Structure 1
Amino acid sequence: MDLLLWRHAEAVEGTPDHLRELTERGRKQARKVARWLDDNRPKRLRVMASPTVRTRQTVSAFTDDFEIITALAPEHGVSDILAATGWPEGRGAVLVVGHQPTLGRLAALLLSGQEAPWSVKKGALWWFTNRVRNDETQTVLRTVITPDMI
């Protein structure tokens, strides 16, 4: 299974949190990563987004074919994302468009075995895959892309 974690691009400050929109810079960040994803996307990609405006705007730069998943909202945690995606037993690939600090905590869990307050930059994409080697399930970090790298 492939699991792609995409943090929403830069958004305006303010309240209510769920209604915050992307800034002009955020829209550019989203378009850059979307172009990279379009060129490098895995086959059979299921796309999920948090119900917030900023995540829906970020993912819309890539596709209009996505699911809004309440379990990806900012108030939910790592276990909610894992349950929603089916990681690691699932098949194919899932793209999650979500939020800090949850995406950073999930990245830490996948690579180190425990949650930690890792930082995922605004607009960044982390791509994980899992494999079995010598009867051991391993998580592999395939790539990390930030908008300023593209």
Structure 2
Amino acid sequence: MNLILWRHAEAEEIAASDLARPLTTRGRKQAQSVARWLRTRLPEDALILASPAARTMQTAEALTDQYRVVRELAPNASVEAVLEAAGWPEGLASTVVVVGHQPTLGEVLARLLGNEVSESGAIRRSWAVKKSGVYWVKSRERNGDGEAVLLAAITPDLV
């Protein structure tokens, strides 16, 4: 399976609630540029899952209006909730795009691709994911063991 983790684009700081925060003008441009990059690479049957936050749904809508809102992907979701929602490692579809939040997406990456050791020697349990950044991870079996392979990491600055 291909698991694509897409952090929502830049959002307004102030709204009636955290879930209601919409994208800024810059955020809409970020989402559109990354969506263009994704659109040319995604299979037609890719499954798009979004958090119930306005900013994630608006990010997903830059790609398509065919996405599912998954309550379990809300801000501060657990790594397990994200992986379960996507059906990792077999997948609910051959390609699943999860539009979500930090630090959760960074924690998923740390779990799948391995923790990093900081300069101080501490283990980082999360990777930094820029707003509207995409990490594309593929599950595979090697020597009888499952593993995750990073296929791409892209930010709006690079597309």
TM bracket, shorter-chain basis: over 0.9
* Counterpart position of 1:46: 47
* Counterpart position of 2:140: 131
TM-score, normalization: structure 1? 0.95
User: Deviation at 1:149?
Assistant: 0.2
Q: In structure 2, give the amino acid aligned to 1:51.
A: P
Matched, 1:147 2:149: no
Identity %: 49
Q: In structure 1, give the amino acid aligned to 2:19.
A: H
User: Deviation at 1:112?
Assistant: 0.6
Structure 1 Cα separation of the partners of residues 73 and 125 of structure 2: 18
Structure 2 Cα separation of the partners of residues 103 and 143 of structure 1: 15
* Counterpart position of 2:112: 110
* Counterpart position of 1:12: 12
User: Deviation at 1:102?
Assistant: 0.2
Contact 1:48/1:69, CA 8 A, preserved across alignment: yes
Unpaired runs of 5+ in structure 2? 116-122
Q: Based on CA coordinates, which of the two structures has the bigger radius of gyration?
A: 2
Structure 1 Cα separation of the partners of residues 80 and 19 of structure 2: 21
Unpaired runs of 5+ in structure 1? none
User: Deviation at 1:135?
Assistant: 1.2
User: Deviation at 1:19?
Assistant: 0.4
Q: Displaced runs of 4+ in structure 1, greater than 2 A?
A: none
Q: How does 1:52-63 map to 2 (within 5 A)?
A: 52-63=53-64
